[in-house]
Amino acid sequence: MRIGELARRTGASERALRYYEEQGLLSPARLPNGYRDYDERCAVTVRRIRILLSAGLGTAAVAEILPCVADDTVVLAGTCPELREGLAAERRRIDAAIGDLTAARDILDSLVGRPLYGPAAPAA
Partner DNA sequence: ATTCTCACA
Partner DNA sequence: TGTGAGCA
Question: CB of 69 within 8 A of CB of 76?
Answer: yes
Q: Is 5 in the site for DNA (CB under 7 A)?
A: yes
Backbone φ, ψ for residue 37 (5° rounding): -120, 105
Which residue type sits at 59? T
Q: Which stretch binds DNA (CB under 7 A): 5-13, 78-86, 93-101, 104-112?
A: 5-13
Among 11, 15, 95, 97, binds DNA (CB under 7 A): 15
Number of residues located near DNA, criterion CB under 7 A: 15
CA distance 39 to 27: 10
In the complex, least distance from residue 92 CB atom to DNA, rounded to whole angstroms: 24
Binding site for DNA (CB under 7 A): 2-5, 12-16, 18-19, 34-36, 53
